């Protein structure tokens, strides 16, 4: 069952503590009364983004531990984050309140073999892996609360959005703890697991669509004669400004677009070209293809498709 925890983002982690304590689950009361300790297994792009986000949100380096696979990554990750980084994934996972799994979907089976014996039902496992169903983790980690989440890279600037869902052993308090950790780097939304492939295609992959748009706009701006630095400034600030306006105005994208499109004007001329060129259909196909890829990753992780 999915529980909506809309207040997590608005109260922040500090505000969450009394709320969690008030709910008073005996099993995890230690998590309620302190910052949960977090192990991040697979400190690559997303793992590092979450780790540094937790530091910005008030976690101390001692509250966190990272695990990497290659020896040369140990020093690199420690230098970049200041967080102890281990090659021994099981040692990193053992005894932490929350274990975040941030390896690629194909690496999940090996990782689970490494940590299955040390993870206990008192811990919460949060998987960020695209496509991999909760059932894959539950099979190896019997009775352990498992949360499946899909963040995105704007988390690097605390502007991420993460959808999450708890498995059957996840009570309200465990879900709120997971949401507090994920909410340290942006907005969160609880959704059912059957929607996670669509989430992966929309917001997990979404920043790349916006970056492609920015790239294409910048190239076109340069072809229209603008100097490179001016083209970049104009495009980047337009993307940021339009995004902020969309979020803060409370108006729909459709309405905001209508407000800048007068009949016979410049925006109308551009919109006509985009519509004629099949922009919407292309976006629909792109998102559908990403969602299908997420389903395939899940099927491979379940062993239903060859690796
Ligand atoms: N990047 C995104 O935009 C995004 C968004 C949402 C969700 N995700 C999910 O987040 C997860 C990580 O993605 P990513 O982009 O951060 O990938 P990444 O940069 O490749 O990071 C994964 C890291 O895990 C390490 N690793 C693999 N197996 C390991 C093991 N057994 N023990 C310790 N470390 C191990 C890898 O080591 P090596 O360096 O040796 O390969 C790599 O550094 C994926 O499941 C992805 O679906 C990513």
Domains (range + CATH), the chain: 13-192 (3.40.50.720), 204-290 (1.10.3730.10)
Q: Which two tokens stand for residue 134?
A: 């909760």
Contact indicator for 141, 125 with CB cutoff of 8 Å:
yes
Q: Please state, rounded to an integer, the average pLDDT across all residues of the chain.
A: 89
**Does residue 30 surpass a pLDDT of 60?**
no
The CA distance from 85 to 39, in Å, is 10
Q: What is the pLDDT of residue 34?
A: 61
**Does residue 187 surpass a pLDDT of 50?**
yes
**Does residue 143 surpass a pLDDT of 80?**
yes
Q: Within 10 Å of residue 61's Cβ, how many Cβ atoms?
A: 14
Which residue ranges have their beta carbon within 6 Å of ligand 1? 41-42, 44-47, 67-70, 73, 89, 102-105, 107, 110-111, 114, 128-130, 150-153, 204
Which segments within 104-144 are labelled E, that is strand?
124-127
Contact indicator for 127, 180 with CB cutoff of 8 Å:
no
The CA distance from 132 to 304, in Å, is 12
Give the count of alpha carbons within 13 A of 103, CB side only.
20
26 C-alpha to ligand 1 centroid (Å) = 34
Better pLDDT: 307 or 304: 304
Q: Quote the radius of gyration of the chain (alpha carbons, Å).
A: 21
Q: What is the pLDDT of residue 299?
A: 87
- In SS3 terms, 252-290 reads as CHHHHHHHCCCCCCHHHHHHHHHHHCCHHHHHHHHHHHH
101 C-alpha to ligand 1 centroid (Å) = 9
Alpha-carbon distance values, 207 to 20, 80, 295 (Å): 32, 23, 20
**Does residue 283 surpass a pLDDT of 50?**
yes
46 C-alpha to ligand 1 centroid (Å) = 7
Over residues 231-274, the pLDDT tens digits come to 999 999 999 999 999 999 999 999 999 999 999 999 999 999 99
The CA distance from 154 to 150, in Å, is 12
């Amino acid at each position: 069952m999915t529980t909506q925890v809309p207040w997590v983002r608005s109260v922040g982690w500090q505000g969450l503590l009394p709320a969690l304590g008030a709910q008073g689950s005996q099993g995890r009361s230690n998590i309620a009364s302190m910052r949960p300790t977090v192990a991040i297994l697979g400190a690559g792009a997303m793992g590092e983004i979450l780790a540094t986000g937790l530091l910005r949100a008030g976690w101390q380096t001692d509250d966190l531990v990272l695990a990497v696979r290659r020896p040369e990554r140990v020093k690199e990750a420690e230098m970049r984050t200041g967080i102890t980084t281990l090659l021994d994934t099981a040692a990193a996972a053992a005894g932490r309140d929350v274990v975040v799994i941030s390896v690629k979907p194909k690496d999940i089976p090996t990782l689970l073999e490494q940590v299955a014996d040390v993870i206990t039902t008192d811990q919460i496992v949060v998987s960020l892996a695209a496509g991999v169903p909760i059932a894959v983790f539950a099979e190896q980690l019997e009775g352990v609360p498992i949360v499946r989440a899909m963040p995105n890279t704007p988390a690097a600037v605390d502007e991420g959005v993460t959808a999450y869902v708890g498995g059957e052993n996840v009570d309200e308090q465990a879900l709120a703890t997971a949401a507090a950790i994920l909410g340290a780097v942006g907005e969160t939304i609880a959704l059912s697991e059957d929607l996670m492939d669509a989430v992966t295609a929309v917001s997990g992959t979404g920043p790349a669509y916006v970056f492609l748009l920015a790239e294409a706009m910048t190239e076109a701006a340069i072809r229209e004669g603008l100097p490179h630095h001016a083209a970049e400034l104009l495009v980047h600030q337009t993307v940021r400004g339009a995004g902020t306006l969309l979020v803060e105005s409370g108006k729909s994208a459709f309405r905001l677009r209508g407000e800048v499109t007068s009949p016979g004007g410049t925006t109308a001329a551009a919109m006509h070209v985009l519509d004629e060129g099949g922009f919407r259909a292309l976006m629909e196909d792109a998102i559908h293809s990403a969602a299908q890829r997420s389903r395939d990753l899940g099927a491979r992780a379940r062993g239903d498709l060859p690796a």
